Chain A
Amino acid sequence: MNTDSKTYQAYAKAHAKRSPMARDIVRAFWVGGLICVIGELLKLLYSSLTIPEDLIKILIPVTLIFIAGLLTGIGVFDNIAKYAGAGTLVPITGFANSMIATAMDTKSEGMIMGVGAKMFIVAGPVIVYGTVASLIYGVILWIAERV
């Protein structure tokens, strides 16, 4: 094979069948949108139960995380995600799934070195950089308030 690496890489990239982008975007949009609608419905539900607004803001993500966790546990979530792609990945459901799926997977290696140590292997970057981003935001806010 006389083709040099650069030419081959370009060839392989061009040769590879692309993901059906338009279809994926439509699916992600409606499923992701539906999750947001469920969030809104939960807000209405909790409001009707006269729960204070601060608590509702916490209860909505907690409920969504619980549902995503449950669906992951019974082996349904990955099938929905295969269809929806970013539609389930981007909302908090994707975060919940990445934690629960990892915990389920690493259970065989024990609760300490398995679940405990490896649970954050997928979601870790989100937690680390989410925390760092909120810290930077806090500093900016602190300065802005004093200027």
Chain B
Amino acid sequence: MKKIMTFANAPIITVGASVVGKKEHEGPLGSTFDIHDDTCEFGMSTWEGSETEMQRMALQTALAKAKLTADDIDCVFAGDLMNQCTGASYGMKSFASRYFGLYGACSTFAEGLILSSMAVSCGFSALSAVVTSSHFCSAERQFRFPIEYGCQRTPTSQWTVTGSGAVIIGSNGDGPRIVDALPGRITDKGITDVNNMGAAMAPAAIDTLNLYFTESNTSPRDYDLILTGDLGREGHSVLREFMRSDGYDIENNSNDCGMMIFSASAQDVHSGGSGCGCCATVFSSYILPRLVKKELNNILLIATGALMSPDRLKQGDSIPGIAHLVHIVS
């Protein structure tokens, strides 16, 4: 049986919105985001609260753009990086929609797109929303060190994006369509370096892309853009090398949200951005408008996730990766 899911009634991405922090706003895509807060606090007293507020603001902005209310949305698929997915569950508290909490690390945005497309395409939902977020400070607290702890980062480490992106998926209307998708499978090549997530996630992206090209009988040339989520410079370079040796040249039409959101030369982010706010904000505010304007017509979005647990790493386990692919046409 084919692993690619082709949607009979291709769901439409009707609108997107994003909320970001200071560094993201100062980055190359800064002007495209809807809301930013230079304090990164969003009026909250804890970093976890700030992330929650970003999710609420992102969905609220998307609803306002689409001239909808929360009652119009049947299902919300939301996720983040914090334990128990509290960014999503607390952030979605004020909306009446049916709620699905997701965890796919940084791949959560594409996971949400696939699940919402399934719901909309099968007629279970007329309108769904996908919201994901990450916050540098809550992620540092969760996965690494206290914020003010003084340490040096290695060149392959990535910077968690402070941001939240939301899109609304509908069965009717105008906009780019999700024609098919390929959910990823867990791929673990035994990488244990928490400062090299790119290398931990790249095998999953290679696995998903290879299978997609084989099953769909297409090649990289057929797409305007092959966009990965947050492999960063390190992971994306690994991806390009392995794809080339597998006979797929993605050198000229591929990019990575983690490489796009920050400036490599001006912003001290090492390998690039990461987190499930990375792909969500870049897609919602930069890629989606370009699809609407038909500057891009046929793209593959592959959001990668490092399904990393600090406790499991301490217990000697490695970092499993995942990569979900969504095929979007304008």
Contacts and interface: CB of A to CB of B under 8 A. Distances in A.
Contacts of B210: 1
Contacts of A106: 146
A109 to B, nearest CB: 9
Nearest to B152: A85
A102 B147 CA distance: 8
Interface stretch (A14-22, A55-63, A131-139): A14-22
B330 interface: no
Contacts of A101: 145-150
Nearest to A105: B146
B154 interface: yes
A104 B140 CA distance: 13
Interface string A74-116: 0101101110010011000010011011101110100000000
A81 B152 contact: yes
A12 interface: yes
Nearest to A118: B146
A104 B148 CA distance: 8
Nearest to B243: A1
The residue in A12, A24, A94, A106 that gathers the most chain B C-beta atoms within 10 A of its C-beta is: A12
A108 B46 contact: yes
B203 A82 contact: no
Interface in B134-155: 141, 145-155
Given A1-B242, A15-B238, A108-B46, A75 B148 contact: yes
Nearest to A1: B206
Nearest to A80: B150
A103 to B, nearest CB: 8
B290 interface: no
Contacts, number: 102
A73 B193 CA distance: 30
Interface residues of B, number: 35
The SS class assigned to the A binding surface is: helix
Q: How large is the interface on A (under 10, 10 to 19, 20 to 34, 35 or more residues)?
A: 35 or more
A133 B199 CA distance: 38
Nearest to A17: B155
Given A1-B206, A108-B46, A122-B145, A15 B151 contact: no
A9 B190 contact: yes
B299 to A, nearest CB: 23
B265 interface: no
Contact of A8 (B147, B154, B189): B189
B217 interface: no
B150 A89 contact: yes
A97 B148 CA distance: 8
Contacts of B155: 16-19
A8 B150 contact: no
5 contacts: A1-B206, A15-B238, A81-B152, A97-B149, A102-B149
Given A18-B155, A85-B152, A105-B146, 16 more contacts: A1-B242, A1-B246, A3-B189, A5-B188, A5-B190, A6-B190, A8-B203, A12-B191, A16-B156, A16-B193, A16-B199, A72-B150, A75-B148, A78-B148, A88-B150, A94-B150
